[in-house]
Amino acid sequence: MNENTLREAFGSALQAIYEQFRRIKGDLEVEYARATGAGERPADSLDDLLERSTRRFLIDPTLRALDWNPDATNALIEEARAHDPDGARLFLDYLGISPREREPVMIVEAKRYEVTGPRRPNRPTGGSAEAAELISKVLALRKLGRPVGGAILADWAAWLDDVRSYVASFNDLGKATLKRVVISCGQWLIVFKDPIGAFITPGAPSERDIHCFLSPHEIVNSYRLIYDLLYRKRLVDTLTPAIGDVEALSILSAAAIEQYFRGVVVASKMTGAARGQLPTRIVYPALLVTTANRIFAVVS
C-alpha cells in the first residue's frame, strides 16, 4: 500500500478505536454505579478500571495502528527500565526502539483517562497553541532549576520533570536516535517532535515542535498529522538490506541512487537429516545500489 492509503487506513482505525472505547467506558461507568448502588464494594476504583481500560482499549490499539505493536519486543517495550544520573530506577510506560540497534526512538507516557490536559491552575483549558506555549515556558524554567509556581498544574510540572529524567538517562547514542516523546491519557495527546530540544537543550523549546491535541474529537480529526508524526516506518529504518525488485521500484527513486554495482546475495539454510545436516546455499544475482549512506541489494 502507498503512504496515502496507509494514512487513511490509520484514520479509519483511529475513529473505530475511539468509538469502541466510548462504549467500553460507558459500560464500566454503568456497571460501577450499579455495584456501588447495590452496596457492593468493587475491588478497584472507577479511576483504576478506567486507567487499565485506557491502556488496553485506547492507547495500545492506537500504537498498533501506528505500527508500534506492544506485543513485538523488537518494536515496543512496555515498562522499560532505565536509571537517572543519581542511580534511581526509572520505569517508562512504553519505549519504541529500532529493531536492529535496539536504540530508543520514542517514549510514550500513559496517564489516567480523566486527568486534565496542560493548563494553568484555576484556568480553563485553552487551545493547542496556548498549551504548547505553556509547556515551552515551563520546560525553560525547569532547565534552569527554577520552580514553576502557578505556571501549570502541579501534576503536569511533575510529569514534565519525569520525562526530562527519562530522556537524560539515555547515553549520547540514545539521545541521538530518540525521535519523539508522547504523553497521552486518551482524551488528549501531546507530541514532542524534538525531544532533545524540548527536554535537554538549554532555553525554551520551539512551540512549533510541541503538538497538542486536546480532545478526542481533535485527535481523530488530526489523524493525518498524527500519522506523519508517529507512524513507525517514518521514524525507524525497517528496510532489510536485500529487497525485491517490485519493492525497490516503490521505495527507491532513480534520482536518489548514488552508485550501483553488479553483485550477488547468498542465502544459507541447513538441510538434511537431524544428525547429518549440511548447509545449503542459494546464490541470487543482485543489483547493489547506494542511497542516503545505505546499501541495498535488489534481487528478482
| Domain definitions of the chain by residue range | 3-235, 242-299
d(CA 69, CA 11): 17
3-state secondary structure of 267: strand
Predicted confidence at residue 195, as pLDDT, reads: 97
Quote the pLDDT of residue 250: 76
pLDDT score recorded for residue 73: 82
Select from 176, 210, 182, 169 the least CA-distant residue to 76: 182
pLDDT of residue 1: 61
Cα gap 213→222, rounded to integer Å: 8
What span, in angstroms and rounded, lies between the C-alpha atoms of 205 and 178? 16
CA pair distance 168, 179, nearest whole angstrom: 14
Dihedral angle computed from the Cα positions of residues 66, 68, 72 and 75, in that order, rounded to the nearest 10 degrees: 140
DSSP annotation of 203 reads S
| pLDDT tens, position by position, 253-272 | 788 888 888 988 888 877 77
Cell of residue 246, nine digits: 517490485
Low-confidence ranges of the chain (pLDDT < 70): 1, 41, 43, 238-239, 274-275, 292
117's grid cell: 490536559
pLDDT at 271: 76
How confident is the model over 172-184, as pLDDT tens digits? Answer: 999 999 999 999 9
**Distance in angstroms (rounded) separating the CA atoms of residues 213 and 132:** 10
Nearest alpha-carbon partner for 194 in 212, 184, 206, 204: 206
Q: Tell me how far the alpha carbon of residue 16 is from its chain's centroid.
A: 19
SS3 145: coil
